């Protein structure tokens, strides 16, 4: 079962790479506002933060997995073994029986609203002071 899903993921990704325009053009059909509740109820926030920023970043659309709904759905369904033999901290498997497609697509739309916008290095006065200090020490040598 998992092997089948993984091989369809590989087939999908290979065809995706050969037609990048087609794939990125796929529309977002889920409802972002409705996705907020299931994002929390299904525990996504625990590993991905309240806004997709943290240990495993999913904000800013940078992930290939987040490129469109189809890849995202395949990814959710093709997660780790259902009963890992050891304590496991990887991303859980989300079968359709526990997270329906429609709900997953709402979560997808919600995640796509996440933006990670850290302050620019130039506006961080402490960082600038550290850099100036390091530069003056370097010049003094
Ligand atoms: C127990 C922790 C955990 C939970 C809960 C979890 N994830 Fe993840 N997730 C991970 C880890 C670890 C990775 C990266 C490695 C991997 O693929 O397993 C990941 C990767 C991802 C990625 C791909 C990011 C990339 O780098 O391409 C997406 C998208 C994602 N998760 C969405 C979700 C969604 C949506 C939920 C809730 C339905 C969720 N995750 C729940 C741990 C978790």
Q: In the prediction, which pLDDT does 90 show? A: 80
Q: In the prediction, which pLDDT does 120 show? A: 83
Give me ligand 1 centre to Cα 119, in Å: 25
Token look-up 């309240």 returns: 50
- Ligand 1 neighbour 47 (Cβ under 6 A): yes
pLDDT band (50, 70, 90) for residue 39: very high
pLDDT exceeds 80 at position 40: yes
- Ligand 1 neighbour 90 (Cβ under 6 A): yes
Using CA atoms, how far residue 58 sits from 63, 65, 66, in Å, is 6, 9, 8
Q: Which of 5, 37, 48 to mutate to test the pocket of ligand 1 (most atoms within 8 A of CB)?
A: 48
- Ligand 1 neighbour 30 (Cβ under 6 A): no
Q: In the prediction, which pLDDT does 81 show? A: 60
Could you tell me which residue, 62 or 106, shows the higher pLDDT? 106
Burial class of residue 57 in the structure, from the number of CB atoms within 10 Å of its CB (0-12 exposed, 13-18 middle, 19+ buried): middle
Give me ligand 1 centre to Cα 51, in Å: 13
* Closest residue by CA, ligand 1 atom 34: 44
- Ligand 1 neighbour 114 (Cβ under 6 A): no
> Is residue 24 a contact partner of residue 66, using CB atoms and an 8 Å limit?
no
* Closest residue by CA, ligand 1 atom 43: 91
| Coil/strand/helix, residue 96 | coil
Domain segments of the chain as ranges: 2-140
pTM over 0.85: no
d(C-alpha 125, C-alpha 97), whole Å: 51
Cα angle for residues 21, 24, 29 (degrees, 5° grid): 140
pLDDT band (50, 70, 90) for residue 9: low
């Amino acid at each position: 079962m998992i092997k089948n899903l993984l091989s369809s993921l590989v087939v999908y990704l290979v065809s995706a790479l050969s037609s990048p325009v087609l794939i990125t053009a796929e529309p977002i059909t889920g409802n972002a506002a409705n996705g907020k509740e299931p994002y929390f109820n299904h525990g996504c926030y625990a590993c991905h933060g309240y806004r997709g920023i943290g240990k495993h970043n999913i904000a800013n659309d940078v992930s290939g997995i987040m490129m469109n709904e189809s890849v995202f759905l395949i990814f959710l369904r093709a997660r780790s073994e259902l009963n890992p033999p050891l304590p496991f901290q990887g991303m859980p498997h989300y079968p359709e029986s526990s997270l329906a497609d429609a709900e997953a697509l709402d979560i997808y739309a919600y995640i796509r609203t996440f933006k990670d916008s850290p302050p620019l290095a130039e506006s961080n006065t402490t960082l600038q002071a550290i850099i100036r200090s390091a530069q003056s020490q370097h010049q003094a040598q």
